[in-house]
């Protein structure tokens, strides 16, 4: 009994108000920009690869499926599920303690149910020592206060439901002449670790 319409909204904030006035030179810094998506928002965009100095190395050495529910005892009622969640949460806390030992400044990032959200009165289920910090996924963009930290621990991932991702695709490409192939399922592939030269590449399913 419901109809949902998905359509993109035109970006008008950069449109010149007069035909005599040229639009601004817009430069978008986006490591994931692709022609197929950007071109539906901006006319004839040019994509250039810019090489920048590496400021950090991201190394995933252990693969573990860590959903927010799996390490949040508050999300369960069954005693066995609560106990298992508390066990996994204790492992995460131990890793935090190890990475922040000896005065190391550690930034821990995760969902609000894990790292908390002070503006909404949500308390974290993990703790960090003085000098380290907790931040939820939506509190990082444009923030430059963590650049001098020694390490960052990302717990889980900020992944929307598959339905939400497909709805974005519907909105962006609703007028595309080619039909979208939406399966309602994630696709998996192996991504390589960052490893020492000369060793065989290890991988993890993502």
pLDDT computed for residue 16 by the predictor: 64
pLDDT computed for residue 185 by the predictor: 92
pTM value is 0.65
Q: How many helices, marked H, and strands, marked E, lie in the chain? A: 4, 5
pLDDT computed for residue 78 by the predictor: 93
pLDDT computed for residue 28 by the predictor: 82
Q: Is 192 helix (H, G, I), strand (E, B) or coil?
A: strand
pLDDT computed for residue 50 by the predictor: 85
pLDDT computed for residue 124 by the predictor: 94
Gap between the Cα atoms of 115 and 136, Å rounded: 6
- Do 45 and 27 touch, CB atoms closer than 8 A? no
- Do 139 and 120 touch, CB atoms closer than 8 A? no
Nearest to 115 by CA among 61, 172, 156: 156
pLDDT computed for residue 33 by the predictor: 84
pLDDT computed for residue 131 by the predictor: 94
Residue ranges of alpha helices (H) inside 55-125 are 79-99, 112-115
pLDDT computed for residue 63 by the predictor: 59
Report mean pLDDT in 10-residue bins for the chain, 206 residues.
88 68 74 85 84 73 73 90 93 94 94 92 94 92 85 86 92 90 89 66 74
């Amino acid at each position: 009994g419901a109809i949902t319409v998905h359509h993109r909204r035109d970006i008008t904030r950069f449109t010149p108000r007069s035909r005599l006035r040229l639009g601004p030179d817009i430069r978008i810094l986006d490591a994931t920009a692709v022609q197929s998506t950007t071109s539906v928002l901006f006319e004839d965009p040019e994509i250039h690869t810019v090489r920048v100095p590496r400021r950090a190395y991201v190394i995933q050495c252990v693969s573990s499926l860590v959903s927010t529910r799996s390490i949040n005892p508050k999300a369960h009622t069954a005693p066995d599920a609560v106990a298992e969640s508390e066990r996994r949460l204790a492992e995460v806390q131990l890793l935090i303690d190890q990475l922040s030992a000896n005065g190391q400044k550690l930034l821990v990032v995760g969902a609000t149910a894990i790292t908390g959200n002070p503006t909404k009165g949500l308390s974290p289920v993990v703790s960090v020592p003085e000098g380290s910090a907790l931040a939820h996924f939506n509190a990082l963009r444009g923030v430059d206060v963590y650049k001098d930290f020694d390490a960052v621990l990302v717990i889980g991932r900020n992944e929307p439901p598959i339905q939400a991702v497909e709805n974005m695709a519907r909105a962006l490409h609703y007028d595309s002449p080619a039909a979208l192939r939406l399966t309602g399922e994630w696709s998996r592939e192996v991504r390589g670790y960052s490893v020492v030269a000369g060793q065989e590449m290890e991988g993890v399913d993502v």
